[in-house]
A and B are shown apart, each in its own frame.
Chain A
Amino acid sequence: MDLLEVKSLYKTYGSGETAVKALKDVSFSVPKGEFVAVVGESGSGKSTLLNMIGALDTPTSGKVFIDGKDIFTMKDSKLTIFRRRNIGFVFQSFNLIPELTVEQNIIFPVLLDYKKPDTNYLEELLTVLNLKERRNHLPNQLSGGQQQRVAIGRALMTRPTLILADEPTGNLDTQNSSEVIALLKEASKKYEQTIIMITHNRSIAQTADRILQISDGVLTDFGRCRE
């Protein structure tokens, strides 16, 4: 069964003559554990699509199913909890909480659920992310690459089924970029997580299982890449 199913998604900003159609009849589905790259020009509608899938924004029409659940039928409060538990976000500018340490930032979504974090899993993540020695550091004491690794750790902590990454390497140099992508791929395999990643970088896109291109709001599926 597909983990993610997008059906005839439309999104229009504004109305009348000034209306901008950001997404036009976008439909696709992604099976569990697949690593998908979304490419496209600036302003093509990539981020809009990602925001729809992550339930951060609502479409003009169309549906998004995650794990068989129609996310736009959920009430706001329920949707927040659903998002917290099932979707992990990685942003271009990291968006870490400056007042929290590396460790606190990673376990933040669990704390929001008022639950105790799984310490074994946390240790495992810190090891995988190579952040063990930095666990008590604040974000402003880290390099860009390290900050992005913390953000990935935060996205993985709740063991979500879906990870959405919006230009995760946009602010990083080449070496850090490849490290981050390797980490995401590793996670996708190890924890059977579905990853949808927006990128400008063609070579990074090539490392994905599958490439989707958006151009003027219309989606084209380039299909699976060669291993």
Chain B
Amino acid sequence: MRSYLSLIPISAKIHKRQNRMTLLCIIIAVFLVTAVFSMADMAVRMEMERSKQKQGNWHIMLNGVPEGTVEKILERKDIVLSSHYNTINYKINEDYYIDGKRTAICGADSNITEIIGGFTEGRYPQNSHETVLTANAKTYFGIGIGDEITLNMPKGDKVYVVTGFNDDISKVMYYDSVVAFVNMEAFDEITREQTSDSAEYVTYIRFSDNTDIRKAVSQIKEQYGLTDEQIGQNTAILGLLGYSDNSYVLGLYLVAAVLFVLILTAGVFMIAGSINTNVAERSRFFGMLRCTGASKAQIKRFVRLEALNWCKTAIPVGVILGIVITWGLCGILRIVSSEFSYIPVFGVSVIGIVCGIIVGILTVLIAAQSPANRAAKVSPIAAVSGSVENMKRVRHAANTKFTKIDTALGIHHAVSAKKNMFLMTGSFALSIILFLSFSIVVDWVNHALNPLRPYAPDFSVLSADRSCSVNRDFAEEIGKITGVKNVFGRMYQNIPATINDTIGSIDLISYEEKQFNWAKQDVMSGDLSKVYGDSNYVITVFDKSNTLAVGDKIECENGTLEVACVLSTSPFETTEIPTVITSEETFERLTGQKDYAVIDVQFTKDVTDDSVNQIRNLAGEGFEFSDRRLSNAETKSTYWAFSLFVYGFLAVIALISVFNIINSISMSVSARIRQYGAMRAVGMDTKQVSRMISAEAATYAVSGCFVGCIIGLPLHMFLFEKMITNYFGDAWSFPIGALAVILALMLMSSAAAVYKPAKRIKNMAVTDTINEL
């Protein structure tokens, strides 16, 4: 032994059992941080890949900058790639067609293939007679590479040779349209002929990997006197790279920072509890060190170094565990859902590892502070007289009149130590409050992402002029196609009506059985069943601008309708005109219409493009289609990523609560171990000891749950109203599910917390404590 600090590894060997818990706590903290941040990193990489696919792999875009300036800017050494680009008919509402399908025309140089992904087939147009089309053109027109297509434009047609295909873009699918890419020469020609103007291009720019993009942008702005409007930023990619000064992205960084601090705090909380227990269990040891001449400062150093000594094993184990679990989770996500096809499986996140190590060392150092002080305070007498006795602190006797002696003592142990009681109640309450507050985010995700609603269609067939002209029999025919899960249609007509003496109009929509069934979940008030069949009852949908409530009357040409029910949400976009839903029978009577305005289709998971094309072919001319499979999948993946994050965080909160409870109870038992020994010597049996500890744990749990509910429920209501009621109209309801989950978890961990100390006392010989007297 070279110094007193050499005692640390020796002591660690002897106190293996006591150290196990602390080690476990550090491992869990490091593991959680590594896993959470690695997963976040993987999600960022996935989003980055997706953003590159969706928005293009560029950093900034020059818009409306004179050509000469653009050329000068492009001379910068930190720019690795640039491409000129422009679009005609971007909104797909002008008269550009290929074989009847609306078409957007993109003009760009061949560098665009590096910026926009998906040029997987063929080659980019090299002359003004060539084009690359989106892949849906293959099925629409039955063409391949080398075939000719005619582009119909308002001022004359042009023929192009197809040289390749680009992967479908969700927007293109949604609007049932095609995109044609041509080179700049061809684009200039089209622009000149169609608009009599010369083509103006935006310039996409990609910087090299190590460029400080924010700095580069401000340099360019300053040097060439450009405005914010002239330099567009690819918010998603710059945000993910950490270079964006966009306020939304900065908000996200703030959230990440808050979460980091929260995890750090929770980690400190958990590890401090554990080291405290460890120190409390060894107060005699520290007393002995003090007895033999160690100063307070030396004891503090001893505890801190001892804590760091644990890091030596705990941090590598935590980090490795974090990496492996991240791999597993990413693998599972990839297998479970096709939305996660971009997530890397065996990615190693440097950020995750560094955060894990920093959090490990930082939490341990912060957490060791209070136990170190506590250890330094142990009086040398403790070594002589046994453990630190808390006799002097007792001011009130336990009440043994109303409960059994073991229960009474347990409750008294909890209640008498005011500071501990406050901390334990606070810890229970905090977990409940955090859990309840976070559970609202789950509700929010469920509300905000529409395609996840049961009625979200994958494909829609609409009449071109939104009139009721889609034959009802057609719905039945679609239902027979393989891969089709559900088919449902709606009639629609805007009719004049008088509401509360105000003359206006309503959007009348019909529902059939399936849609009524789905609507049941969204009933805010009133009785939905009244609306079935031919009646004068209708449903309306909550919206801030819609004043209709249950019982209100709507006068229209063919009768008076009464609002029987208000729904919180519907598949329709809200407008100034109130949405009124009736049964098909009522709709027919009121309007005389029999056919649908729109037919929505939901597919099974294994649906193929053939089935979708079959529907198109069956419908024939005069209809519009909307294929939302791709956009639904995108939203679903956002939902999954969001849910994973929210539930992951909930799990972290829950896990930390569990550990904290277990630690605190264990610590309380350790402090009283000698007393328990004496009680056992005078005849207390192990069941009674267990009951005593259970009573103590139950006291913490009950008071913690009580305070947690008192604060958590009003807070839940407040947040719910802010986040949900204000936007989606759902009234607050008692969060029975979330509350039940967290309360059950609290009670279960309290029960688990009792088990170990009780077992320890049971297995300990009475003489172990008595002999120390």
Chain A residues with a Cβ under 8 A of chain B = 47, 51, 54, 56-57, 76-77, 80-81, 83-85, 89, 91-93, 95, 97-101, 104, 108-109, 111-112, 114, 136, 138-140, 154-155, 158, 166
Our pick among B397, B675, B767 for the contact of A138 (Cβ within 8 Å) is B397
User: Shortest Cβ distance from B399 into chain A, in angstroms?
Assistant: 10
Whether A84 contacts B773 in the complex (CB less than 8 A), given A56-B767, A91-B678, comes out as: no
Whether A111 contacts B391 in the complex (CB less than 8 A), given A56-B765, A80-B684, A89-B681, comes out as: no
**Most chain B beta-carbon contacts within 10 A, residue among A80, A99, A100, A112:** A99
Residues of A within 8 A of B765 (CB): 56-57
Whether A111 contacts B394 in the complex (CB less than 8 A), given A56-B765, A57-B766, A80-B683, comes out as: no
* B145 located at the interface, meaning its Cβ lies under 8 Å from any Cβ of chain A in the complex: no
* B420 located at the interface, meaning its Cβ lies under 8 Å from any Cβ of chain A in the complex: no
Residues of A within 8 A of B773 (CB): 91-93, 95, 166
* Alpha-carbon distance A57/B680, docked complex (angstroms): 12
* Alpha-carbon distance A47/B768, docked complex (angstroms): 12
* Alpha-carbon distance A123/B31, docked complex (angstroms): 61
20 new A-B contacts, CB < 8 A, other than A77-B687, A80-B686, A81-B685, are A51-B770, A51-B771, A56-B767, A56-B770, A76-B686, A81-B683, A84-B683, A84-B684, A92-B773, A98-B390, A99-B398, A101-B397, A104-B397, A104-B398, A109-B683, A111-B405, A112-B684, A136-B397, A139-B391, A140-B391
Residues of B within 8 A of A54 (CB): 681
**Most chain A beta-carbon contacts within 10 A, residue among B394, B679, B687, B770:** B770
Residues of B in contact, count (CB < 8 Å): 36
Q: Which of B368-418 contact A (CB under 8 A)?
A: 385-386, 389-392, 394-395, 397-398, 400, 404-406, 409, 412-413, 416
Residues of B within 8 A of A97 (CB): 409, 675, 678-679
* Alpha-carbon distance A193/B431, docked complex (angstroms): 56
* Alpha-carbon distance A3/B392, docked complex (angstroms): 40
* B297 located at the interface, meaning its Cβ lies under 8 Å from any Cβ of chain A in the complex: no
Residues of A within 8 A of B397 (CB): 99-101, 104, 136, 138
* B740 located at the interface, meaning its Cβ lies under 8 Å from any Cβ of chain A in the complex: no
Q: Which of B636-690 contact A (CB under 8 A)?
A: 675, 678-688
**Per-residue CB proximity of B148-167 to A under 8 Å, as 1/0?**
00000000000000000000
Our pick among B405, B412, B683 for the contact of A83 (Cβ within 8 Å) is B683
Q: Which of B758-773 contact A (CB under 8 A)?
A: 765-767, 770-771, 773
Whether A56 contacts B681 in the complex (CB less than 8 A), given A98-B394, A112-B405, comes out as: yes
User: Shortest Cβ distance from B191 into chain A, in angstroms?
Assistant: 91
Contact A109 B682 (CB under 8 A): yes
* Alpha-carbon distance A136/B396, docked complex (angstroms): 10
| Beta-carbon nearest neighbor of B394 in chain A | A98
Contact B770 A91 (CB under 8 A): yes
* Alpha-carbon distance A76/B262, docked complex (angstroms): 47
* Alpha-carbon distance A166/B685, docked complex (angstroms): 21
> Can you identify 14 A-B contacts, CB atoms within 8 angstroms?
A77-B686, A84-B685, A89-B681, A95-B682, A98-B389, A98-B394, A99-B413, A100-B397, A104-B398, A112-B688, A114-B404, A140-B391, A140-B392, A166-B773
| Beta-carbon nearest neighbor of B409 in chain A | A99
Our pick among A51, A112, A158 for the contact of B767 (Cβ within 8 Å) is A51
Residues of B within 8 A of A83 (CB): 683
* Alpha-carbon distance A85/B680, docked complex (angstroms): 13
* Alpha-carbon distance A51/B226, docked complex (angstroms): 92
* Alpha-carbon distance A108/B390, docked complex (angstroms): 20
User: Shortest Cβ distance from B38 into chain A, in angstroms?
Assistant: 49
Whether A56 contacts B766 in the complex (CB less than 8 A), given A93-B773, A98-B675, comes out as: yes
User: Shortest Cβ distance from B148 into chain A, in angstroms?
Assistant: 95
Whether A95 contacts B684 in the complex (CB less than 8 A), given A100-B400, A111-B400, A111-B405, comes out as: no
Whether A84 contacts B682 in the complex (CB less than 8 A), given A56-B767, A100-B400, comes out as: yes
Our pick among A89, A104, A139 for the contact of B682 (Cβ within 8 Å) is A89
Residues of B within 8 A of A89 (CB): 681-682
Residues of A within 8 A of B389 (CB): 98
Residues of A within 8 A of B406 (CB): 112
Residues of A within 8 A of B770 (CB): 51, 56, 91
* Alpha-carbon distance A54/B770, docked complex (angstroms): 12
* Alpha-carbon distance A189/B409, docked complex (angstroms): 34
**Per-residue CB proximity of B738-773 to A under 8 Å, as 1/0?**
000000000000000000000000000111001101
| Beta-carbon nearest neighbor of A78 in chain B | B685
* Alpha-carbon distance A57/B405, docked complex (angstroms): 25
User: Shortest Cβ distance from B83 into chain A, in angstroms?
Assistant: 80
| Beta-carbon nearest neighbor of B397 in chain A | A101
Residues of A within 8 A of B392 (CB): 140
* Alpha-carbon distance A108/B678, docked complex (angstroms): 12
Whether A95 contacts B398 in the complex (CB less than 8 A), given A57-B767, A114-B404, comes out as: no
Contact A112 B409 (CB under 8 A): no
**Most chain A beta-carbon contacts within 10 A, residue among B389, B392, B405:** B405
* Alpha-carbon distance A114/B679, docked complex (angstroms): 15
Contact B683 A138 (CB under 8 A): no
* Alpha-carbon distance A48/B675, docked complex (angstroms): 20
Our pick among B386, B398, B767 for the contact of A100 (Cβ within 8 Å) is B398
Residues of B within 8 A of A76 (CB): 686
| Beta-carbon nearest neighbor of B405 in chain A | A111
User: Shortest Cβ distance from A202 into chain B, in angstroms?
Assistant: 22
Contact A140 B685 (CB under 8 A): no
* Alpha-carbon distance A97/B416, docked complex (angstroms): 14
Residues of B within 8 A of A155 (CB): 682
User: Shortest Cβ distance from B413 into chain A, in angstroms?
Assistant: 7
* Alpha-carbon distance A196/B397, docked complex (angstroms): 32
Residues of B within 8 A of A154 (CB): 682
* Alpha-carbon distance A84/B685, docked complex (angstroms): 9
User: Shortest Cβ distance from A222 into chain B, in angstroms?
Assistant: 26
User: Shortest Cβ distance from A216 into chain B, in angstroms?
Assistant: 19
